[in-house]
A and B are shown apart, each in its own frame.
Chain A
Amino acid sequence: MSNYDPCAFFCEMSSEMSNRSPKLQDIWKRFDEADFENLTARSKDADLELFNLGVTFTVYSDKDVIDRVLPFDIIPRVLTAREWDTIDRGVIQRVSAINAFLHDIYNERHILNDGTVPAELVLGNSNYRDVMVGFQPACGVYTHISGTDIIRDDNGQFLVLEDNVRSPSGVSYVVENRHLMERSFPDLLADLKLRKVSDYGTNLFSKLSEVAPSGCIDKDEPQVVVMSPGMFNSAYFEHIFLAREMGVPVVEGSDLFCDEDRVYMKTIAGPRRVDVIYRRIDDAFLDPEVFRPDSMLGVKGLVNAMLKGNVTIANALGTGVADDKAVYAYMPRIIKYYLDEEPILSNVETHICREKDALQYTLDHLDELVVKPVGESGGYGITIGPKATREQLDEARAALLANPSNFIAQPMISLSVCPTLGETGLVPRHVDLRPFAITGKGTWVLPGGLTRVALKEGSLIVNSSQGGGTKDTWVLAEDQFNSNDGGNA
């Protein structure tokens, strides 16, 4: 055995192996006992392959295009069948509650009227879209594609850190990472029964077909398209991936136009009707008639066509209210409110600084808490109390006092770790998990999801924009306990 030491953190590979699944022991041995030089060499080949295959995100400069590979770590993150069952049910529960919540706030507003969630938090939210009031989307679905960011604490308990119900990205890496593992490390995957990830596109297509609008002429074969801001977008690869896996065109705003409240795409045979748009551009850019008039990416008249029931926009407009960090704090109550169930996945304890007591608590414990601005994404603007300098804490205090409702605070959660290929051996690095759920006439969750890893020693920030990488996520098809094994209790 190597000298791999996860310290006090929960290790996704080596902690409580016998309790979780006897299979973990076997998998850990495969990597722990593999020749390190050999793993390193093959890992470099894998990176080159990703580059050549164009599994890249794109950075543009004046004269050239730079394609970068999101760093890929070859040691997988493993979830047992039982762990996955919890996540799967938890994510479905959460997405159901969010769709019910969105329906409510754009219609009767029960949850606001009875004060369960403060009305101004929702109605005053910059992502609340008045245009959606009273509109009934197909199948009652608002967030068709969602990603739930989940972390694991020292006790191995899964906690939801954030919901992403606008336009979550990263699913292409889940599928491509598995393909890469299968090609590059068939020996390490041999004889393992893992849940497959390759049918994401098929499931996405059938769920999107289910939500074809009422005005769709051919309900058996609705025309689905992926709408991209274009190849200058850093996630263009993922847009292509989604279209390819579904077998539908990638369109840009300029490929579409509206006429008499119907949406058409420009083809070589003239205009063709479009029924469902999986859009990967923000609300604000969708329709220059309704939102930003300067948007070059959108389509004039798109929102009207949607309101007339002639096109489904997925995800719907105005879902951003539900994944706002301030609304997040109410999510356990939202689940209970609509489903009358206890949350299967807990939130991280959250202090809403707009509330007086919470603000005071936050100010009193600033050096113990993680303070996050509610509007930002990508890990920007976060103050990690226990690691901050005196000056940084003072800055955070000033910002909090200036605009308290812009912040939430959470206790410092130590993310679980996973063995990762380091310079000289396997080292523990922090990881999170983003499972992807697709909702049509029901919700399906892709087994596993995107495991992001903070490649810098000690770092807790897994975002790709700040030095994070990805791992393949393995979900065991069965945990293979022997009948007399205590772990199955």
Chain B
Amino acid sequence: MSMLLSRYAEALFWFARYIERSASLARILNVQAGFWQDHANQENWASILSLYVDTDRFTERYGQVTAQKVAKFYITDRENPSSILSCLWAARENARLLRPLISVSMWSYINVSYNEMKSLSDRDLDAARLSRTCESIARTCDAIMGVTEGTYYRDAGWRFYQLGLWIERADQTSRLLDVKVAQVANYNGLDQTETVADLEFWKLLLHSFEAYHAFQRNRPGRMDPKKVANFLMFNQSFPRSLTHCIGEIQDMLNDLYMGYQLRRVARCYEEVEMLQYELEAAAKDQHLHLRFHGFNDMVQNRLMEITKQLGQSFFGHADWSKEAEECQNQTKSQTQSQTLS
């Protein structure tokens, strides 16, 4: 089998990121939709905009924040490059480029899913239907990942797909926590006695991660904000926690190093290790809430660094002319050793 082209590795990486991003967005909107009628809701819908740093772009085009408008902005608006429809479009275009590698059923499923998405109308986003629509989008994304998991050949490309998935997931977790925790800290700060409304808030937060049941199994009893935040960030086994995601990223890089002899993994690995140290330190930090935003900023920046490093090491964002010489020398030494043996 010939070595994976850099362009394909990059497309697999971004394919995963776009699908994961769509799923995450659908989940967040779904939880929001459940509380459509709520009084404080306006603010919650606005908080989604700050989660993705989209407030200015939104206001420019839509004006006043309403549930319907935010849903439209994030689901069906093709003018918004980070809407679910735009993400799925980008995922599909990456998949199109990847068609020589992916299974027919995977392409076919993505193709059908995108075409279904495209036919969503404003009616599908009204109060009565929004939750169901989000639910079905999230399921569709899950299914695309399922087909991928079930049919994609486990070559080096699979590792790049996984890297994309785990990096995006870590990023989404960090962003969502950052915004949500800032929101509640505005009221009372993390370690003050929580009110009934707060309790609802933490439950809601767990639901946006589909983490409610896992949390309850682990931490029976009262809902403690710190415990919730720690669970979502540092639990080893919860598949959306930062700790879990970073662990998976390390595994994938190990695979690429050990299984495919890709020496240049080293530079990415260093970046990931630094992030890992920061996480370990944060997990032990009693006063993390005081530097919560700074911490999440650091996480997101490190993830961006890792992505950049992948680009330099594997996706061909570096200088190729020097590398040809290396390859030439390698071939020579290989031919020599063959002649000797």
A: residues with CB less than 8 A from B are: 52-54, 63-65, 67, 217, 223, 231, 236-237, 240, 243-244, 247-252, 254-255, 257, 259-260, 262, 264-273
Contact = CB atoms under 8 A, between A and B. Distances in A.
B114 to A, nearest CB: 9
Residue among B9, B108, B316 with the most chain A CB within 10 A?
B316
Interface in B158-178: 160
Given A231-B96, A249-B100, A264-B324, A269 B261 contact: yes
Interface stretch (B62-70, B280-288, B325-333): B325-333
Nearest to A239: B100
A266 B6 contact: yes
B111 interface: yes
Contacts of B321: 257, 259
A272 B4 CA distance: 10
10 contacts: A53-B104, A54-B96, A217-B331, A249-B8, A250-B100, A252-B7, A260-B324, A266-B5, A267-B6, A269-B261
Contacts of B160: 268
Q: Is the interface of B mostly helix, strand, loop or mixed?
A: helix
B108 A267 contact: no
B327 A264 contact: yes
A257 B5 contact: no
A240 B262 contact: no
A54 B108 contact: yes
Interface of B: 1-9, 78, 93, 96-97, 99-100, 104, 107-108, 111-112, 156, 160, 256, 260-262, 314, 316, 320-321, 323-328, 331, 335
Given A255-B6, A268-B3, A268-B156, A54 B324 contact: no
Contacts of A223: 2
Given A53-B108, A54-B107, A260-B328, A266 B7 contact: yes
B324 A267 contact: no
Contacts of A270: 323, 326-327
Contact of A52 (B3, B112, B327): B112
Nearest to B160: A268
Contacts of B256: 268
Nearest to B315: A268
A244 B7 CA distance: 17
Contact of A267 (B3, B78, B96, B104): B3
A249 B111 contact: no
Nearest to B6: A266
Contact of A251 (B5, B99, B323, B331): B5
Residue among A259, A265, A269, A272 with the most chain B CB within 10 A?
A269
Contact of A272 (B3, B104, B335): B3
A389 B73 CA distance: 55
Nearest to B97: A231
B212 to A, nearest CB: 36
A257 B324 contact: yes
Contacts of B96: 54, 65, 231, 236
Contacts of A260: 324, 328
Q: Is the interface of A mostly helix, strand, loop or mixed?
A: mixed
Residue among B4, B100, B111, B328 with the most chain A CB within 10 A?
B100
A223 B328 CA distance: 16
A268 B2 CA distance: 11
A271 B331 CA distance: 11
A249 B326 contact: no
Contacts of B156: 268
Nearest to A53: B108
Contacts of A257: 320-321, 324
A249 B5 contact: yes
Given A54-B99, A244-B100, A249-B5, A266 B320 contact: yes
Query: 9 tightest A-B contacts by CB?
Result: A259-B324, A267-B3, A240-B99, A271-B327, A243-B100, A268-B314, A266-B316, A266-B6, A270-B323
B100 A240 contact: yes
B63 to A, nearest CB: 23
Contacts of A63: 78
B327 A268 contact: no
A202 to B, nearest CB: 16
Given A52-B111, A254-B7, A269-B262, 11 more contacts: A53-B107, A54-B108, A67-B111, A223-B2, A231-B93, A244-B100, A250-B100, A255-B5, A259-B325, A266-B320, A271-B320
Contacts of A53: 104, 107-108
Contacts of A268: 3-6, 9, 156, 160, 256, 260, 262, 314
B78 A273 contact: no
Nearest to A251: B5
Nearest to B112: A52
Contacts of B1: 247
Contacts of A250: 100
Contacts of B324: 257, 259-260, 262, 264, 271
A260 B326 CA distance: 13
Contacts of B327: 264, 270-273
A266 B313 CA distance: 11
B106 to A, nearest CB: 11
A270 B326 CA distance: 9
Residue among B1, B5, B104 with the most chain A CB within 10 A?
B5
A335 B133 CA distance: 66
Nearest to B331: A217
A334 to B, nearest CB: 37
A392 B325 CA distance: 62
Nearest to B95: A54
Contacts of B108: 52-54
Residue among A64, A217, A248, A266 with the most chain B CB within 10 A?
A266
Contacts of A217: 331, 335
